[in-house]
Amino acid sequence: MTKAISEKKESSKIKRPNRVLIKEIAEVCGVSTATVSRVINNNGRFSDETRKKVLEAVERLGYKTNIVAKSLRTKKTKSIGIVVPDITNEFFAKIILTIQDFFFTKGYSVLVCNTNEDPGKEELHLKDLEAKWVDGLIYFFCMEDKGQIDAVRKKIPVVFVDRNPNRKVAVVVESDNYTGGFIATEELIKAGSRRIVILKHVLTNSTIVGRYNGYRDALKKYGIEFDPQLALDMYITPDAAKNAISNLIEKGVSFDGIFACTDGLAAGALLALKKYNIKVPEEVKLVGFDNVSISEYNSPSITTINQDKKQLGKIAAQLLFDMINGSPIQEKDIIVPVELVRRETT
Which residues ranging from 138 to 167 are in contact with a copy of itself (CB under 8 A)? 154-155
Of 52, 104, 106, 333, the one binding a copy of itself (CB under 8 A) is 104
Q: How far is the CB of 265 from a copy of itself (least distance, A)?
A: 11
The pairing of beta strand 79-84 with beta strand 231-234:
unpaired
CA distances to 6, 10, 64, 201, 294 from 13, rounded to whole Å, are: 11, 5, 20, 50, 48
Cis peptide before 300 (omega within 30 of 0): yes
- Residue closer to a copy of itself, measured from CB, 96 or 188: 96
Near a copy of itself by CB under 8 A, which window of 78-86, 189-197, 252-260, 330-338?
78-86
- Residue closer to a copy of itself, measured from CB, 210 or 313: 313
Would you count residue 129 as binding a copy of itself (CB under 8 A)? Answer: yes
Would you count residue 44 as binding a copy of itself (CB under 8 A)? Answer: yes
Of residues 159, 160, 234, 145, the one with CA closest to residue 198: 234
Would you count residue 320 as binding a copy of itself (CB under 8 A)? Answer: no
Q: Write the burial class of residue 262 (CB in 10 Å: 0-12 exposed, 13-18 middle, 19+ buried).
A: buried
- Residue closer to a copy of itself, measured from CB, 10 or 225: 10
Would you count residue 291 as binding a copy of itself (CB under 8 A)? Answer: no
Near a copy of itself by CB under 8 A, which window of 13-21, 142-150, 185-193, 201-209?
13-21
Would you count residue 68 as binding a copy of itself (CB under 8 A)? Answer: yes
- Residue closer to a copy of itself, measured from CB, 218 or 260: 260
Would you count residue 32 as binding a copy of itself (CB under 8 A)? Answer: yes
Tell me which residues in 193-232 interact with a copy of itself (CB under 8 A).
none
The total of other beta-carbon atoms located within 10 Å of residue 97's CB is 14
Bridge partners of 8, per DSSP, are none
Q: Rounded to an integer, what distance in angstroms lies between the CA atom of residue 96 and that of residue 43? A: 38
- Residue closer to a copy of itself, measured from CB, 189 or 287: 287
CB 46 within 8 A of CB 105: no
Would you count residue 72 as binding a copy of itself (CB under 8 A)? Answer: yes
List of residues 6+ apart from 58 with CB closer than 8 A: 25, 40
